[in-house]
Structure 1
């Protein structure tokens, strides 16, 4: 028979009640579950007193230092627990007292939108948990730009600013067919080496996301390419024609905008992004990897030594001279291209 001490039971019950009180997401959660801990926070609720008592217990569990740490929390863990709990309580009391809120749902108030944004910011930085204020600001600017692109592409009957673009981009310019990709592979164009190599990298890294049956049924493997025969790929996989077509399509759309020295409004950019999104939504990881490759290429081609050093040294993308905080409605296409890969792939 498993022996459990009374103190362990009390501590587990304490943390369970704390979790229920801090994650109330519905006004009727307490009624539906018949649990007082899941009631919304009001002026006279008992949750505030219970949370304060829980913070006192956690503070007493903090390790004071020295040797032989057993059955104690680290100072950082205890401090973070107490700080986040009491900060949420104080914020809720402020809303209830000074802003006439009837109740506060802590699970929605303290978690949903904020956690979603920081999750997007971390993913934008290659999933790195340790991001700083520069990464946060860059993620906010990118998210804002994507919202502007969507809004500007929507017909606005009451808008006083019509879309007057100085360049007209035909829709078929974004369409790269399989036949065009096959012609590229058999041609002597130097870009085919880059496209096939990047496609092989994506195939090698993300092949586990494709079922074995799909791989066996695909008869379009690029085994006849002289480039693949003579190249030491260093462990990379020979890509399927579908993967090469994917990279070829993205590169063509990217190159179309980068080489455009005229002005283009956000409506046409949004049109291009929407045509690319559907093809890229299958494997998000491959999209992020490809966006990083294109972005690095753009940075190296269009930045000075300082920005390149920052990009290589610290991985801070879209900083220094790549700041885009005040973009007008009609701006140079090169400014938008600083954000295009992340707008296309990450979000």
Structure 2
């Protein structure tokens, strides 16, 4: 009998929670456009507003400051705008500064022209260079330019947790605005938008056990919102036009509520991550010197290819990934590895293990056993000897 497969690729897309699936099936049988004033429309609207409260609670935000989108990428592109609405007016942003290890939807610059986007370097563990950030912001402020800084809360490939509160404090000193992509961090570590001090936080449902196709922007501070990406209707308080996906948004809200209980698992997850690190063998644990998500670990065995490792583990019934799933289709050295100056011999072998609420201690034990066999079989003899 074939052994049950083990899914250790939560950072690419977490399993849909059973309670969320059941609720969404029930909601699919309901009718109503949330913009309609009849009873069915009001019921749909009520589900969206409940979800708004649930998502806000996950990150300590204000429900009135939550804007629903089709996912994390749309949320990021919407926020990364040279025009920010404040009340009845607007302010202009001259430059976008992004961390070198950001998600591709941030590195692409959103709605900023390419010549107005700059990257801030990270160190060998993937942590943002705060001195470089401050120096650049100081130069921009002295020349009378306003900046928007985008630094993710936790990296999707390595799990590195960025010092976003420190980034925000530096930005404030130079009159800059701050966005943080918290897609990977929410539900894995406590997230408090006020404590972080950012102007914009972005989230995605399918990383926390909700459906694909739902995301959110959570606004902090006193800003109204970025200029809308989608215009036409008055949905989302004129911040995002288009008929709302009631079922996906409601599923997102329930997943956010359930994800808050995942924080109780953090200690177990950290122990399991430590167990994987201890069993890494000849493989290098990436970002070992930085604080990391408790359920994410990146490994690299010199002389091997990530594709080979992913296939070898897949044949053993274990799903992991090589780099970011958003660039899957071909396995190449990721921009995150390049930004961290990981030697190519290791960068080509970088794989990611990420787990969550359905993972068991036995799953982790089986992974470490299989990993040991794979390393013994595939790792170059000189690496094992080392």
Q: TM-score, normalised by structure 1?
A: 0.23
More strand by percentage: 2
Q: TM-score, normalised by structure 2?
A: 0.22
Q: Specify the structure having the higher radius of gyration (Cα).
A: 1
